[in-house]
Structure 1
């Protein structure tokens, strides 16, 4: 049950945003044990002045094409699952969209079902998963 906020530069076409979304979802399903219909993504394109980031911190060098994926998920994943997810997403983005892996930053946070209400003001019950 992850929700992902994707932040990137302005200028992407609707088709490119759909492709980015599709690649993320495919990778979540394949590598992160997410059901196919569990898709919640918020994509925001910001002007350069609103995206302040270090171009070299723990990276081979970020360009203006820097993309940030902030994922909040309800169930922890293993170290192996996370590493495979990171690698597979970067590979797919480079292969399909030409996005350099050095321009991809992924941050994952986990919490419990008590922090989720999908609708109606009802707390998500662990049994629903």
Structure 2
């Protein structure tokens, strides 16, 4: 049931953006038990002047190539699952597109199941 929003600085190739979505989906299905075919994602590119990621917050050296991934999903995953997901995604993006682990910012937003409608004006999981 997640919806994924991926934000990055403009100028990346379609293959780069596709690789990010594929790696996010792979990490979600393997580490967070997201069901197959539960794939709802939006990739947005921004002018460098409209994309702010502090370059040193918490002592992490971020480059202008930072990628922000925000996932809204059902409440219920424990901290170990989330840690496994964070690592799997950072490792997957590093291996596939060379994204520095320091340049991946992830935010999980947990909501109750009744907060979803997948179509037809119906709360399918309420």
Which 5+ residue runs of structure 1 have no aligned equivalent?
none
How far does the alpha carbon of each residue in 1:44-91 deviate from its partner, in whole angstroms, 9 at most, with x for none? 010111112211102421111100001100132011100000001001
SS of residue in 2 equivalent to 1:86: helix
Which 5+ residue runs of structure 2 have no aligned equivalent?
none
Instruction: Give the CA RMSD over aligned residues.
Output: 1.0
Hey, what's the Cα distance between the residues in 2 that align with 1:4 and 1:31? 15
TM-score (norm 2): 0.95
Q: Show the 5 A alignment for 1:88-127.
A: 88-126=88-126
**CA separation of 1:99 and 1:106: change in aligned 2, threshold 3 A:** same
Match of 1:61 in 2: 61
Moved over 2 A (4+): none
Q: Show the 5 A alignment for 1:25-104.
A: 25-104=25-104
How far does the alpha carbon of each residue in 1:71-118 deviate from its partner, in whole angstroms, 9 at most, with x for none? 100132011100000001001111111100110010001111211111
Q: Show the 5 A alignment for 1:10-25.
A: 10-25=10-25
TM-score (norm 1): 0.93
Deviates more, 1:30-39 or 1:116-125: 116-125
**CA separation of 1:59 and 1:33: change in aligned 2, threshold 3 A:** farther
SS of residue in 1 equivalent to 2:105: strand
